[in-house]
Amino acid sequence: MKRQISCFNTKALLDYVRARNPENLHFLWEPLKGKLPVGEDPEQFLTDPNNWISTEVCRDIMEQTRIATSDEMAVYKAGFESVRQRKLGYIEKILVRAFLTPKHAFRKVQKINDRFNKSKKVEIISISNSRALLRLRWFSDLSLTRDFCLMNKGIYQAMLTMWDLPPAKLEERVCFFEGGPYCEYEISWKRKTLWKLFFRRPAVKRQVLNSLVEEMEKDKDLIRNKYEQVTRLNEELQKKVTYLFSLQEASHAIVSILDEQGLIETIMNLLAGVTGLHRAILFLVDDKRESLRFARAVGAVDSSLERLVDYEIPLDRMSNILARVAATGTPRFVKDVEKSNLRKGNIVLNL
């Protein structure tokens, strides 16, 4: 999957739906089967700002956000709320809040933009202490919809709240998604007086420092969880490698061992080794006698095996679990033999 959109954006969408329509939260990732990394929990993956997704996946989630909330402006509102409620990551908080005024932040708007996505370039046409004119040049080869524009509007309008100012006024002069060559936003805001800016500087430093400490603790937990996840995936991978190796060994045995008993013994030993079974018994179908006959066992005491030498199970004895499996081809798993309906005196259960 292409890394084009930070999951900061999808986290904003999931948080918005969770707060308003939690019963519909699953709508957001239902269309994404096969589009997210295998083995990842969709909700956890899409709310981790360290992850990135393609514009196609983000587009689908935006569409589902509108469906889940029955609100055509839900994506705009999600972008707005994500900033207003201070749900930026700590790097973004530093980039924005460390600037003394909105003007300083807008001068770095492309750098801030790159933290969130790689779907556009932002041009500063003009800027003053209370106004900025921006052009968003979207990459035309990407799968984008009007929702991307709406989310950016919400984010830009809410940015002013990071300086404890009212939301900005935003007028869209040109829209790429209505046939224009780009989106052009005229953003205006109320200026703070000089004395407020002077007294704000120490407070900003404290806020940034506190944010750093808080987010670093969160990152430590994230790294710990990722390490545990990688360890678990490595264990699963090792199991699969072992399975594949055993299949290769079994295939080699089939083509190289001509003796039936030798072949059966090799396969049974491989089976027991791969699965970790303490005991395993193999029955073969005897078509002439229409029965299952004992062929090989591993893990059982040799003296017990003498009772199985001539042991057969008629294939039409459907009360027998082995006969049912052979007849239907459907495997059966008995979790607790003592609580099952199996005949406890059966010779197979008492090896």
CATH number assigned to the domain comprising residue 303: 3.30.450.40
For residues 183 and 263, state if they share a domain. Answer: no
Statement to judge: residues 30 and 156 lie in one domain: yes
Domain membership of residue 346 as a residue range: 257-350
Q: Is residue 324 part of a domain?
A: yes
State pLDDT tens for residues 259-283. 777 777 777 777 777 777 777 888 8
Residue 119 resides in a domain: yes
According to the model, what pLDDT value does residue 258 have?
A: 66
> Is 318 inside a domain boundary?
yes
Instruction: Tell me, yes or no, if the pTM score tops 0.75.
Output: no
Average the pLDDT over 250-258 and give the result: 68
Same domain, residue pair 170 and 297: no
Q: Would you state the pLDDT for residue 64? A: 96
Question: Residue 185 has what pLDDT?
Answer: 97
The confidence band for 303, taking pLDDT boundaries of 50, 70 and 90, is: low
- Does residue 212 belong to any structural domain of this protein? no
Q: Which of 192, 212, 233 lies at the terminal end of a domain, its last residue?
A: 192
Residue 298 belongs to a domain? yes
Share of residues in the chain with pLDDT > 90 (%):
35
Residue 58 one-letter amino acid:
C
Statement to judge: residues 182 and 321 lie in one domain: no
Residues 150 and 271 in one domain: no
- The answer to whether position 264 is within a domain reads yes
The number of folded domains in the chain is: 2
In a domain, 81, yes or no: yes
Task: Indicate if the pLDDT at residue 112 is higher than 50.
Answer: yes
Residues 270 and 142 in one domain: no
Domain boundary among 162, 192, 222: 192
In the prediction, which pLDDT does 270 show? Answer: 76
Confidence of residue 91 (pLDDT cuts 50, 70, 90): very low
Length of the chain: 351
Residue ending a domain, among 136, 164, 192, is: 192
Question: Domain for residue 210, yes or no?
Answer: no
Between 75 and 229, the more confident residue is 75
pLDDT for 319 equals: 84
Q: Are residues 276 and 139 in the same domain?
A: no
Q: Judge if 267 and 160 occupy the same domain.
A: no
